[in-house]
Structure 1
Amino acid sequence: MPDKITIKEIAKEAGVSISTVSRVINGSSPVKKETKEKVLNAINKLNYYPDALARSLRVGYTDTIGIIIPNIANPFFATLVRGAEDYLRSKGYSLIICNSDNAVDQEKKLFNILAEKKVDGILYSGIGDHLEKFNHINIPIVFIDRVIKDNRFSYVCSNHYKGMEDLLNYLFETNHKRYVFISGKKEIFSAVERLRAFGNFVKKNKIEYKILEGEYTYESGLINGKKIKKLPDVVVCSNDLIAYGVIESFKERKIKVPQDVSVTGYDDITFSKMFSPALTTVRQPIYEMGKISAEIIHRLLIKKDDYIPVKLFQNQVIVRESTRNPRNK
Structure 2
Amino acid sequence: MKSKISIREVAEKAGVSTATVSRVLNKSLYVSPELEEKVNRASQELGYVPNRLARSLRIGSSGMIGFLIPDIVNPFFSQIVKGAEDYLRVKGYFIFLVSSSGDPLKEEELLKALYSRNIEGIGAILLGELPESIKAISSHLPIVIIDNYQDWEGVSYVFSDNYDGMRKMMDYLIRAGNKSFAFLSGPVNTFSSRERLRAFEDAISEENSDCEIHFGDYTFESGREMLRRLKRIPNAIVCGNDMIAFGAMMELAEMKYDVPKTVSVTGFDDILFSRMTNPRLTTVRQDGYAMGKAAGEMLLRKISGQKTNSKVLLKTSLQIRESSNG
- TM-score range (shorter-chain normalised) is 0.7 to 0.9
Shift of 1:247: 0.6
1:154 offset after TM fit, Å?
A: 1.2
CA distance in 2, matches of 1:105, 1:116: 17
How big is each residue's C-alpha offset from its partner over 1:45-95, in whole Å with a ceiling of 9 and x where there is no partner? 8x8773x44532431221111111100100100111111111111111101
| TM-score normalised over the length of structure 2 | 0.85
TM-score relative to the length of structure 1: 0.84
Q: CA deviation at 1:321?
A: 0.5
Does the CA-based 8 Å contact 2:126-2:148 persist in structure 1?
no
CA distances 1:214-251 after superposition (whole Å, capped 9, x unpaired): 11001111112223352200111000111111111111
SS in 2 for 1:135: helix
Aligned to 2:249: 247
Using the alignment, how far apart are the partners of 1:80 and 1:12 within structure 2? Answer: 39
Q: Take 1:131 and 1:232, find their aligned partners in 2: how far apart are those partners?
A: 38
Give the structure 2 partner of residue 313 of structure 1.
Answer: 314
Residue aligning to 1:120:
120
Q: Retained in 2: the 8 A contact 1:148–1:154?
A: no
- Structure 2 CA distance for partners of 1:48 and 1:303, relative to 1, 3 Å: closer
Do the aligned partners of 2:212 and 2:230 also contact (CA within 8 Å) in 1? no
In the alignment, residue 244 of structure 2 is paired with which amino acid? Answer: I
Structure 1 residues 217-256: aligned runs within 5 Å? 217-256=219-258
**Within 2, Cα distance between the matches of 1:31 and 1:191?**
49
Which is worse superposed, 123-132 or 192-201? 123-132
Displacement of 1:148: 2.6
Cross-structure match for 1:265 = 267
Residues 29/247 of structure 1: CA separation in 2 closer, same or farther (3 Å cut): closer
Gaps of 5+ in 2: none
Change (3 A) 1:233 1:91: same
- The question of whether the paired residues in 2 share the 8 Å contact of 1:153 and 1:308 is answered with no
Deviation at 1:101, TM superposition (A): 0.2
Take 1:214 and 1:224, find their aligned partners in 2: how far apart are those partners?
Answer: 7
Q: Distance in 1 between matches of 2:26 and 2:242?
A: 46
Matches within 5 A, 1:143-182: 143-182=145-184
2:84 is matched with 84
Please list the CA deviations of residues 9-48 of structure 1 after superposition, one character each: whole Å capped at 9, or x if unmatched: x879999x999998887666799979x97xx87xx68x87
Aligned amino acid, residue 150 of structure 1: W
Q: Percent of counterpart pairs with the same letter?
A: 39
Letter in 2 for 1:323: S
Aligned mates of 2:172, 2:19 — CA distance in 1: 67
Distance across 1 between alignment mates of 2:179 and 2:10: 78
Q: 2:218 is matched with which residue?
A: 216
- The equivalent of 2:287 in structure 1 is 285
- Per the TM alignment, residue 170 of structure 1 is displaced from its structure 2 partner at its CA by 1.0
Distance 1:246 1:107 in 2: 28
- Contact 2:281–2:321, Cα closer than 8 Å, also in 1: yes
**Contact persistence 1:127–1:189 (CA under 8 A):** yes
RMSD across aligned C-alpha pairs, in angstroms? 3.1
Q: 177-186 or 226-235: which moved more? A: 226-235
Tell me the secondary structure at the aligned position of residue 272 of structure 1. helix
TM-aligned CA deviation for residue 135 of structure 1: 2.5
State the 1:134 CA deviation: 2.2
- Correspondence for 2:199: 197
Q: How far off is 1:109 after superposition?
A: 2.2
Q: Distance in 1 between matches of 2:69 and 2:201?
A: 28
Alpha-carbon contact 2:238-2:267 (below 8 Å) kept: yes
Which residue in the other structure is 1:58 paired with? 58
Paired letter, 2:230: I
- Residues 185-229 of structure 1: per-residue CA shift (max 9 Å, x gap): 012110111111122222222111111111100111111222335
CA distance in 2, matches of 1:12, 1:83: 35
Distance, in Å, in 1 between the alignment partners of 2:300 and 2:102 is 27
Q: CA deviation at 1:5?
A: 7.6
Residue type at the aligned position of 1:58? R
1:245 aligns to what SS in structure 2? helix
Q: Which has the larger radius of gyration?
A: 1
In the alignment of these two chains, the number of paired residues is 317
Deviation digits for residues 234-282 of structure 1, max 9, x if unmatched?
A: 1110001111111111111111000111111111111112211011111
Distance in 2 between the 1:28 and 1:274 partners? 47
2:224 maps to a residue whose letter is L
- Give the Cα–Cα distance (whole angstroms) in 1 for the partners of residues 73 and 146 of structure 2: 17
The 1:274/1:11 distance shift into structure 2, 3 A limit, reads closer
In structure 1, give the amino acid aligned to 2:213: I
1:136 is paired with a residue whose SS is: helix
Gaps of 5+ in 1: none
- In structure 2, relative to structure 1, the CA distance for the partners of 1:21 and 1:158 (3 Å cut) is closer
